Amino acid sequence: QLLESGGALVQPGGSLRLSCSVSGFSFSNYAFSWVRQAPGKGLEWVSAISDNGRSSHYADFVQGRFTISRDNSADTLYLQMTRLRVEDTALYYCAKDRRVVRGVTITFPDYWGQGTQVTVSS
């Protein structure tokens, strides 16, 4: 199970930290991604982090504003969002990414959470 939290109404230029609490499988074995969906729009990948947290990737539109991180001791994924813009308004999902062992993909993206709503508005 993946359970997102932390979404809220925030003013443009503000900050927010999203969390994704994981249970039911070994969190530290998997990479994770954040994906968002703006109202009436399609799905948009935001960021990903490796199983050990040493490697991360970002969509161009969030570079330098968002930071993905994880706490493997707490089975929790985070997305720190700063300098928020109106266009960041969306439902934010965390998604379980693949598991890679010694360069071989063992499992593939599968579970998603239900999402947490971020609204950026003055």
Partner 1 sequence: DIQMTQSPSSLSASVGDRVTITCRASQDIRNDLGWWQQKPGKAPKRLIYEASNLHPGVLSRFSGSGSGRDFTLTITSLQPEDFATYFCLQYNSYPWTFGQGTTVEMK
Distance CA 95, CA 97 (A): 6
Which segment (11-19, 22-30, 80-88, 107-115) binds partner 1 by CB under 8 A? 107-115
Contact between 103 and partner 1 (CB under 8 A)? no
- Binding residue (CB under 8 A) for partner 1 from 81, 93, 116, 118: 93
- Per the document, the length of the chain is 122
Instruction: Give the single-character DSSP code of 13.
Output: T
Residue 12 structure tokens: 């443009």
- What is the maximum alpha-carbon separation in the chain? 48
Taking CB under 8 A as the criterion, which residues in 3-32 touch partner 1?
Answer: none
Residue in 97, 116, 118, 120 binding partner 1, rule: CB under 8 A: 97
59 touching partner 1, by CB under 8 A: yes
CA distance 89 to 8: 10
Binding site for partner 1 (CB under 8 A): 2, 33, 35, 42-45, 48, 57, 59-60, 93, 97-98, 108-115
